Structure 1
Amino acid sequence: MLVYFVMPHAYAAADAPYYTYTSDSEGYTIKTQAAYTPGAQISVINGQRLEMPEHVFVDDQDYVYITDSALNKILILDGNFRFYKELASNKFSAIKSTFVTDQSIYVVDTSANKIMIFDKLSHTLVQEIGKPDSPIFAEGYEFAPTHVAVDVRGNIYVRSTGSVNGLIMLNRDGEFMTFFGANPLKVPLLDQLRSLFLTKVQEEKVQKVFSDVPSNLAIDKKGFIYTVTSSVETNPIKKFNVSGTNYFPDRMVGTFSMESVWIGNHNNVFAVSADGWIFEYDSYGNLLFLFGGKDFNSSRLGLLNRPVSMASNSADELIVVDQGTKIIQTYRSTEFADAVHQAMDAYQDGDYQKSKELWKYTLKYNSLFDKARIGLGDAYFRDGDAAAAMEEYRYAKYNPGVSEAFWEIRQSWLQNHLNIVFIVFLAVLLAHYVHKYLNRKYGYGPKISGAFRSVRTIKIVDDLLYVFTFLKQPLEGYYQIQYENRVSRVSSTVIYLLIVMLLIVHYEYASPLFVQKQGYVVYELASMVGLAVLWVLSNYLICSIADGEGKFRDVYNATAYSLSPVLVILPPLVLLSNGLTLEQSVFYHLPVQAMTIWVAFLMFFMIKDIHNYEVGETVSVIFRSVFTMLIIGLFLFVFYSIGRQLLGFVHDVFAEASKRW
């Protein structure tokens, strides 16, 4: 007898008691259409109520194997969730999980610390695997299996309680081969220093404290091993090849307490957390869908109390073991999720035209679904349309795709216009030699120089052009600024304004591959200007107290010219950035770093020379100036908060008075 608690067949996505989320190209989670809706709840199988369900496994024929440690048996359902068989044995003491191949059923008994292998058809016991006969286990290394996975060669990957070295890898005969897929050891710096003075036994104890032991594992048809670790948040799921290399990103979307991992039919990866959240990732570890939630005894269909295991079948139905409520909860995929899966399959199969049509179909459900934009861009790119691909990538703000598509467009442009580039180069070279010849013959060079010198007689022009002289000899420049009044406050103000304009141009027109355009340029500029004003004021106040010789005018002017490397480097950098891809990012970041170091160098010597300090005094003044900036900033924040509350109070008083009047 099989008891179902099933919602009506027309259960709508909008009726799901939870929201569905996805992640955009920048890693932020956003709401999207429902990907899965709650299906059936199974609590009684063949007249037996589930008492302590521990694990679920679905084989290639869609048979569902449910392990119950209290019943001490494995209940087997067919593809329609109807009772088929059960596997019980007098050798079972406390079974925990199963893994099923074409010929065998692997059962993990945690009490006996054994892996029992049964024939899949006859259910006869074929083999028992206990603690391996290896020196490392003879020396006391614990063998306490809870979950296993088996590859096509019969090698067994064992998740063992307390195995700080990762999974235990055994051959088909149960002989120890190696450890596999360990999490990186995360030891705080202080404990790393202490470990230098620890004995070997003490080091092993420290390793156990700071090691993250995998909670569960899975294997796909290509032989990749997946582990999930409940004590890790940012990269809880890892995808290992046979050499132990992790293919999933270190900053993938995840959470603590992720308990189970499963590989779907589309190279997608499912995971469930103890808090009731169900995650679906693509084959690269990018979050596709996130849904579910904690059921706090409300018995709402689809919410989970304490899930411990999950699996999926060929119909993309999810099967989750909820140990808290002692039920098996199923979920059905929606048309939206089916379209996403089919588009992924078409792309992986090389049918890019079908993939494009399916991704466009998913965009009808949600035009802001970045995964569809990226998938559509991938399909365009593989189909040879790099321009259309870049447009989709840009819409999704997917910089790696934009970079790759732009590289392809740039290569094509260079191939088609290389002759024009060559002609322009020759024309410039020819113009240079023609100029030299004509200048020697007619001598118009001195006239141009004279006209240029006449322009420099204008004070503001001369002060601005002094920037280039200053950058060649900055120390001499500080002396001329302070003692010879070489520049004016007007020219310094113009330099400040030019820097602000260049920052706006950099934000608006530099390649989005290198500049994140969030739409807050005014706020960012206001913050930068505020910090600059705060720095000039704080530094002047501190230097006045510390017997600095510079006047406020000197600090104002010298600071402007100390920032002048921005005027020299930023304009060509904006142009250069639009011809670079991410692979050539060093040609963007290196000038930015050089500009920053150059400005910092000039600012340091500005303080030192303008105020006539020694090096040690200069360092001290800089730290005190920064501290003063923090104090002034805190004062302004408190003043703003109190003023805002006062204005709100006055507004409320007048509003109340006007109503009573």
Structure 2
Amino acid sequence: MKKISEKRQNKSSFINILKRSIGIALIGISLIWNADVLTAHADAPYKTYTVDGYNSVTETQTAYLPYKTITKIGDESLMTPTDFTLLDDGTMYVLDSGNKRVVVGDADGNLVTTFGEGVLVGPKGIYVTDKHITYVADRDAKSIFVFDENGELIHTYTRPQVAMYGDALDFLPLKIVVNSSGTMYIVCESNTNGIVEISPVDNGTFLGYFGTNATSASVWTIVWRALLTDAQRAKMVGNIPATPDNMAIDEKGIIYTVTRGEGDDTLKRLNIAGVNMITDPGKSDTVPAAIAVGNHDNFFVVSQQGFIYEYNNEGQLLFMFGGKDDGQQRIGLSTKAEAIQIGSDDKIYVLDSDKAQIQVYEPTEFTDYLHEALYLFSKGRYEESKEPLSQVLMMNNLFDYANMAMGKALYKEGDYEGALKYAKLSIDNDLYSDSFWEIRNIWLKKNLSTVIVIILALIVLNKSIKYLDNKKNILSKPKAFVQKIKNQKLVAQLRYIFFYMRHPIDGNYGIKRQNKVSVLASNILLALMIVFFIINKYFCGFMFKTVREGQFDVASDIIMILVGLFLIVGCNYLMCTINDGEGKFKAIYCSFIYSASPFLVFMPFIFALSHVVTYNEEFFVSFGSFCMVCWILVLIFIAIREINNYTVGETFKIIGLTVFTILIVCLLAFIIYVLWSQVFDFLQSLVGEVVYRIGG
């Protein structure tokens, strides 16, 4: 009986395991069966980047996560789709170019209808209005087809038959958007005049070209073309503007375009007059595919390789993420992105023509807070924007855009100290300048009278001391002590810089003939110059700083200065020796050091000024630095001429030869470095191979 009971238990366990296995299998079959819309809240297979205040790309929190992939609409598969439109109610119109039709789906991915069969020939672009009027740009048909909400063809627009369009230009529409009045904006293939603007009045009235891209030519190109004959110029590639690759339109009628190969003009936000309102564009992709307008005064760009960029309305980059699929079919990566749309819930939809599917991304909590802050700030609700900005900064206090927005919000409220703090965190020089201006004004209003009293008191004190000294000689002992110090040989040599600056010809005579200076004094001055350079580089005023806050590389700075100095002095001495120069190495070295004396004299004043000026007075710092550099160059020129007893022409010749020699030395050093690196790599691999074989 006991054995029978054990057998029954074993049989019951086997049946339970079998049921579980069948259940798991059925679940798997169900998932595969319903894989038309594949949802996967997975970790992102890509990294997210932003741009910091130094305009450097840096990694940040994940902004968007892959949400789902749409491979079918209902039971309808897509073939080489090239464009789509997403309406606020979730209705999706996909231009199924391979099947020459438009496929319409609802927010749940169910098929609503298809239309365009038998009409469309080679469709490339689609735009759908809020009233479900569909515009299709058909390149091969050379037409714009307009369908009503039921998918019935109601209008066809072909090439404008006016001379202003261009007699030699064909009509090959690729992309289209339509404003609220029905005016169509069309990107045509090979039409470099700009975006074609057509009104629906009188069955299509050509209004002109809009948002034409500018052309540019380098000075060298202009000179070269001027030297060529007419026949040669005719064979050259023409300098013609590029045709936009894609565009979008917002509810205000503002046109957004992307054009590859245009550098800073890759992204454009064109007002009604066709003027680009993006004055300081952020980083952009070299091969943008499409652009879409967001819900928070922002816009998005997708590149052909699947990288997605989010910008604010000023063209500043907020996020960059996504990328190209390497064949592993990972959700969130694309093979060839063609179009991008933004849902009313801020989800991003990216159309991949090669995969014939649509990737969907959802924003993270971090991004939701940032979007809320963007919207509130753009509406002037600065106090309200501080709360979501605080949440963003709690998640990432190094997110520079949030620091900048927080600083601007505080500035609008009159909290200039707080704005100054966030301006420094975000490296926003404009905000820093404005905030410092207000803080300085407040300080001057409170303390100006006190400052004037102190200045007057110091003047009176100075006059009184001079008067008493003239009457009772109270400063005789201090003056004697100071004079004794001045008479010291080393001190006199150091003070020689003031005479040298004012009388460089006599100063160089004193260096060459009278031993007015020494190598020790020159080395001390060089050390002071290095100290001044390092202090100014790392501790100058915020707006004039060129290095990252808190990053120091003093050793490299010192090596760079010393190597550069001795390279210049050595090459100059070599050229002067070859060309009958009279200067000895000591005289040339000392004259070069003393020629840089304006740096020692003026740099402390420029350094101090950099801490108290705003952008409005930046000229004083820039002009002071310019005058200082010019003075140094003049002194160096005079030093080379006087020390070597050259004429002006010979001096220019020596300077040119010195520069050439420096370039040759740098080239030789680079070649030696490359060769030594190769030898070192060879020896390293050889030793590694020997160790491996011995160990084996």
User: Tell me, what secondary structure is at the counterpart of 1:98?
Assistant: strand
Distance 1:456 1:24 in 2: 51
Q: Which residue of 1 aligns with 2:205?
A: 175
Distance 1:195 1:534 in 2: 40
Quick check: 170-179 or 436-445, which moved more?
436-445
Q: Which residue of 1 aligns with 2:654?
A: 621
Q: 1:342 to 1:202 in 2, by over 3 A?
A: farther
Q: Which residue of 1 aligns with 2:163?
A: 135
Q: Summarize the alignment of residues 622-661 of structure 1 with structure 2, pairs less than 5 Å apart.
A: 622-634=655-667
Q: Which residue of 2 aligns with 1:39?
A: 67
Q: Which residue of 2 aligns with 1:556?
A: 589
Quick check: 297-306 or 643-652, which moved more?
643-652
5+ residue gaps, structure 1, are none
Quick check: 423-432 or 29-38, which moved more?
423-432
- Whether the 8 Å contact between 2:74 and 2:105 is mirrored in structure 1 is no
Q: Which residue of 2 aligns with 1:457?
A: 487
Report the CA distance between 1:77 and its aligned residue.
Answer: 2.3
User: Tell me, what secondary structure is at the counterpart of 1:140?
Assistant: coil
Report the CA distance between 1:649 and its aligned residue.
Answer: 6.0
Q: Which residue of the other structure, out of 344, 347, 354, is the alignment partner of 2:377? A: 347
Q: Which residue of 1 aligns with 2:179?
A: 151
Report the CA distance between 1:614 and its aligned residue.
Answer: 1.7
Q: Which residue of the other structure, out of 492, 497, 512, is the alignment partner of 1:467? A: 497
Q: Summarize the alignment of residues 471-490 of structure 1 with structure 2, pairs less than 5 Å apart.
A: 471-490=501-520
1:394 to 2:424 alignment: yes
- Whether the 8 Å contact between 2:38 and 2:70 is mirrored in structure 1 is no
- In the alignment, residue 379 of structure 2 is paired with which amino acid? D
Report the CA distance between 1:647 and its aligned residue.
Answer: 12
Distance 1:50 1:334 in 2: 29
Q: Summarize the alignment of residues 25-424 of structure 1 with structure 2, pairs less than 5 Å apart.
A: 25-88=53-116, 90-103=118-131, 104-119=133-148, 121-173=149-201, 174-193=204-223, 195-196=225-226, 210-249=240-279, 252-424=282-454
- Whether the 8 Å contact between 2:100 and 2:121 is mirrored in structure 1 is yes
- In the alignment, residue 112 of structure 1 is paired with which amino acid? A
Quick check: 544-553 or 80-89, which moved more?
80-89
Distance 2:236 2:353 in 1: 33
- Whether the 8 Å contact between 1:137 and 1:143 is mirrored in structure 2 is no
Quick check: 89-98 or 69-78, which moved more?
89-98
Report the CA distance between 1:182 and its aligned residue.
Answer: 2.2
- In the alignment, residue 77 of structure 2 is paired with which amino acid? R
- Whether the 8 Å contact between 1:272 and 1:278 is mirrored in structure 2 is yes
Q: 1:579 to 1:612 in 2, by over 3 A?
A: same
1:501 to 2:525 alignment: no
Q: Which residue of the other structure, out of 592, 599, 610, is the alignment partner of 1:577? A: 610
Work out which of the two has the higher radius of gyration on C-alpha atoms and give 1 or 2. 2
Quick check: 264-273 or 617-626, which moved more?
617-626
5+ residue gaps, structure 2, are 1-32
Q: 1:522 to 1:244 in 2, by over 3 A?
A: farther
TM-score w.r.t. the length of structure 1 is 0.90
Report the CA distance between 1:572 and its aligned residue.
Answer: 0.6
Q: Which residue of 2 aligns with 1:588?
A: 621
Distance 1:469 1:504 in 2: 26
User: Tell me, what secondary structure is at the counterpart of 1:530?
Assistant: helix
User: Residue deviations 1:94-150, cap 9 Å, x none?
Assistant: 22222222343322222222223333x344444332222321335223332211222
Quick check: 128-137 or 26-35, which moved more?
128-137
Q: 1:28 to 1:543 in 2, by over 3 A?
A: same
- Whether the 8 Å contact between 1:5 and 1:40 is mirrored in structure 2 is no
- Whether the 8 Å contact between 1:155 and 1:170 is mirrored in structure 2 is yes
Quick check: 236-245 or 310-319, which moved more?
236-245
User: Tell me, what secondary structure is at the counterpart of 1:550?
Assistant: coil
Q: Which residue of 2 aligns with 1:18?
A: 46
Report the CA distance between 1:215 and its aligned residue.
Answer: 0.2
User: Tell me, what secondary structure is at the counterpart of 1:534?
Assistant: helix
- Whether the 8 Å contact between 1:187 and 1:210 is mirrored in structure 2 is no
Report the CA distance between 1:35 and its aligned residue.
Answer: 1.3
Distance 2:207 2:229 in 1: 28
- Whether the 8 Å contact between 1:17 and 1:302 is mirrored in structure 2 is yes
User: Residue deviations 1:199-230, cap 9 Å, x none?
Assistant: 99998996756532110111122332111012
- In the alignment, residue 239 of structure 1 is paired with which amino acid? R
User: Residue deviations 1:54-99, cap 9 Å, x none?
Assistant: 1011234332221112222222222333323333264432222222
Aligned length: 654
- In the alignment, residue 307 of structure 1 is paired with which amino acid? A
Q: Which residue of the other structure, out of 610, 620, 626, is the alignment partner of 2:643? A: 610
Report the CA distance between 1:397 and its aligned residue.
Answer: 2.5
Distance 1:487 1:500 in 2: 19
Q: 1:647 to 1:348 in 2, by over 3 A?
A: closer
Distance 2:103 2:568 in 1: 72
Distance 2:34 2:214 in 1: 45
Report the CA distance between 1:332 and its aligned residue.
Answer: 1.4
User: Residue deviations 1:210-253, cap 9 Å, x none?
Assistant: 53211011112233211101233554211122223222245521
- Whether the 8 Å contact between 2:126 and 2:136 is mirrored in structure 1 is yes
- Whether the 8 Å contact between 1:56 and 1:320 is mirrored in structure 2 is no
Q: 1:188 to 1:155 in 2, by over 3 A?
A: same
User: Tell me, what secondary structure is at the counterpart of 1:169?
Assistant: strand
Q: 1:405 to 1:5 in 2, by over 3 A?
A: farther
- In the alignment, residue 407 of structure 1 is paired with which amino acid? W
- Whether the 8 Å contact between 1:218 and 1:227 is mirrored in structure 2 is yes
Q: 1:477 to 1:391 in 2, by over 3 A?
A: same
- In the alignment, residue 376 of structure 1 is paired with which amino acid? M
- Whether the 8 Å contact between 1:230 and 1:258 is mirrored in structure 2 is yes
- Whether the 8 Å contact between 1:38 and 1:302 is mirrored in structure 2 is yes
Distance 1:362 1:107 in 2: 41
- In the alignment, residue 39 of structure 1 is paired with which amino acid? Y
Report the CA distance between 1:648 and its aligned residue.
Answer: 11
Report the CA distance between 1:640 and its aligned residue.
Answer: 6.4
Report the CA distance between 1:3 and its aligned residue.
Answer: 6.4
Quick check: 158-167 or 194-203, which moved more?
194-203
Structure 1 vs Structure 2 CA RMSD:
3.2
- Whether the 8 Å contact between 1:3 and 1:45 is mirrored in structure 2 is no
Q: 1:562 to 1:154 in 2, by over 3 A?
A: same
Q: 1:189 to 1:430 in 2, by over 3 A?
A: same
- Whether the 8 Å contact between 1:232 and 1:255 is mirrored in structure 2 is no
Report the CA distance between 1:52 and its aligned residue.
Answer: 2.1
Between the two proteins, what is the percent identity of the paired residues? Answer: 31
Distance 2:97 2:129 in 1: 21
- Whether the 8 Å contact between 1:235 and 1:253 is mirrored in structure 2 is no
Q: 1:201 to 1:405 in 2, by over 3 A?
A: farther
Distance 2:495 2:221 in 1: 57
- Whether the 8 Å contact between 1:234 and 1:255 is mirrored in structure 2 is no
Q: 1:207 to 1:614 in 2, by over 3 A?
A: same
- Whether the 8 Å contact between 1:270 and 1:278 is mirrored in structure 2 is yes
User: Residue deviations 1:501-545, cap 9 Å, x none?
Assistant: 111221233112112233223312320121012211221122112
Distance 2:274 2:502 in 1: 54
